[in-house]
Amino acid sequence: MFSCKNYEKELSAFIDDELSESKRRKIASHLSGCRKCSDLLEELRSNNLALGQLFSKKNIPGAEKGRKDFSAMMERIYEKERDEPIEVGQRVFDALKNTTFEKIDAILEMVRFSGSAIDIKASPAGEAVSGSVGRLIPALLIGLAIILFYAPKLNALLIINYS
Amino acid sequence: MPVKNKTDPVSSKEYKEEFERLASDSYERLYRSALYFTGNIEDASDIVQDTFITAYRSFNNYRGDSKFYTWLYGIFRNLLFRHRKSRKSYINRFGSLEEGLISDDLPAVKETPENLLTGKEKIIRLYESLNKLPMIYKEILILRHFENFSYNDIAGILGCRTGTVKSRIHKARNLLRKQMEQ
């Protein structure tokens, strides 16, 4: 048996028309008999309408004035391609540069975390571990973090994950 | 549709024509977004051009199983982060009230009886509340309400599952609602 809380979770997707037909019918049926959920739905719809107005693209200053001609831009791109043909290595490098910042941040965060978490010499138990083994552990953890982060979506490194 | 023959060199006529056909439809939409986030024509033009250059060079990788604009926007988003040196610039930029984006003649927003704000007042409160949300939730609201992307599109851009998008949007709207009540 579904409680209101379960239905509430679906309301955003209901408004955005992102539910399957059967789920949509189920929510609609609940809404027709539940004042609390109907009020919440109205409030969310009202906020969405306001968000739509806040984010309106119609009144962006300079949109017309500054808009450059598409063909002219393409010409510049072709010229650049002719003058500076890029090699495969450069393409990979460009793709790597375009890796999302969240991923880089997350890796750095992991590195920082692993660095502090395994400050071996600072911990009494860690005094026993020293020398090359002690230095290897952070490096291994960092490497492992990177592999774990990227392995499931190796394509993400090459922009093409968006297609 | 992507270029059929993936072995075509970047400079081939077919490659160019196919790219231009798709890119021309996306140009103005992307330019407006760029202008909105960067706040000036020069930066907007630069970032749009950089986006199209990157897209042009990577076009062989576009498989056509998502909309071209969605694919393009993924590139744009990454460049925007780089361009502004900080993701904060991208996120904090949107919904700028200082530049007359909200006019007085907006239609009134339907209000609940206990909260009788005018349309404009509500939007201002919304803007203030929005700026208090964590970045992850702000961005998903931008993608949904500013760019009008579907849940699937957003999942492609953020590199996550559609279910994650659904729950994140729900949480973002709930947080916003609670923030507005404070």
| Chain B residues touching residue A75 (CB < 8 angstroms) | none
Q: Two tokens at B95?
A: 């919904």
Contact A51 B62 (CB under 8 A): no
- What's the Cα-to-Cα distance from B14 to each of A88, A159, B150, rounded to whole Å? 21, 22, 30
Q: H-helix or E-strand containing B18?
A: helix B13-38
- Domains of chain A as residue ranges with CATH: 4-54 (1.10.10), 86-162 (no CATH)
Which has more pLDDT, A119 or B134?
B134
**Where residue B113 sits, what CATH number does that domain have?**
1.10.10.10
Which of B75, B96, B117 is a domain's end point? B96
pLDDT tens, residue by residue, A66-99: 455 788 888 888 888 777 665 555 555 555 555 5
**3-state per-residue secondary structure call for A96-138:** HHCCCHHHHHHHHHHHHHHHHHCCHHHCCHHHHCCHHHHHHHH
Q: Is residue B29 domain-shared with residue B110, that is, in the same domain?
A: no
Residue B136: which domain range? 106-182
Dump pLDDT digits (tens) for A21-31: 999 999 999 99
The reply to whether B3 falls in a domain is yes
- For residues B10 and B58, membership in a common domain is answered with yes
Per-residue pLDDT of chain B (182 residues; tens, 9 = 90+): 554 444 445 667 888 888 998 998 888 888 888 877 777 778 888 888 899 999 998 888 888 878 899 999 999 988 887 765 544 555 555 544 444 444 444 444 444 444 445 567 777 888 888 878 888 898 899 899 888 899 999 999 998 999 999 999 999 999 999 998 88
Higher-confidence position of A148 and A107: A148
- What is the predicted pLDDT for the residue at B79? 87
User: What value does the mean pLDDT take over residues A125-147?
Assistant: 65
Confirm whether B53 is domain-assigned: yes
Q: CA-CA distance, A78 to B46, in Å (whole number)?
A: 16
The answer to whether residues B53 and B128 belong to one domain is no
SS3 of A116, please? helix
Torsion angle of the four alpha carbons B108, B111, B113, B114, in this order, in degrees rounded to the nearest 10: -110
- pTM, 2 dp: 0.65
Whether the ipTM is more than 0.95: the answer is: no
Interchain contact, A158 vs B62, CB within 8 Å: no
Give me the mean pLDDT over the A55-65 stretch.
63
Chain A residues whose CB is inside 8 A of the B103 CB are 59
Does a structural domain hold residue B101? no
pLDDT in tens, A34-46: 999 999 999 999 8
Q: How confident is the model at residue A19 (pLDDT cuts 50, 70, 90)?
A: very high
Whether B151 contacts B169, CB under 8 Å: yes
pLDDT of residue A155: 45
Which amino acid appears at position A135 of this protein?
R
List the single residue in B48, B65, B87 with the smallest CB-CB distance to A163: B65
Q: What is the pLDDT of residue B151?
A: 96
Do B25 and B91 lie in a common domain? Answer: yes
Helix locations, chain B, DSSP H: 13-38, 41-58, 68-83, 87-93, 119-130, 135-141, 151-158, 162-181
Distance CA B148, CA A17 (A): 13
- Where does the pLDDT of residue A51 fall: very low under 50, low under 70, confident under 90, or very high at 90 and above? confident
Residues B43 and B130 in one domain: no
For tokens 């004035």, what's the residue?
A: A65
d(CA A90, CA A46): 48
Q: In Å, how far is B64's CA from the nearest CA of chain A?
A: 6
What per-residue confidence (pLDDT) applies to B99?
44
First CA to last CA distance, chain A: 40
Phi, psi of B59 (to 5 degrees): -60, -30
More confident residue, B101 or A3: A3
> What's the pLDDT score for residue A87?
54
- Tell me how close the Cα of B85 comes to any Cα of chain A, in angstroms: 10
Across the interface, whether the CB atoms of A43 and B122 are under 8 A apart is answered no
> Which candidate, A92, A150, A87, A159, places its Cα nearest to that of B62?
A159
Are B113 and B72 members of one domain?
no
Instruction: Work out how many domains chain B is built from and give that number.
Output: 2
Residue B158, domain member (yes or no) = yes
The CATH number of residue B72's host domain is 1.10.1740.10
Pairwise CB contact (< 8 Å): B54 & A94: yes
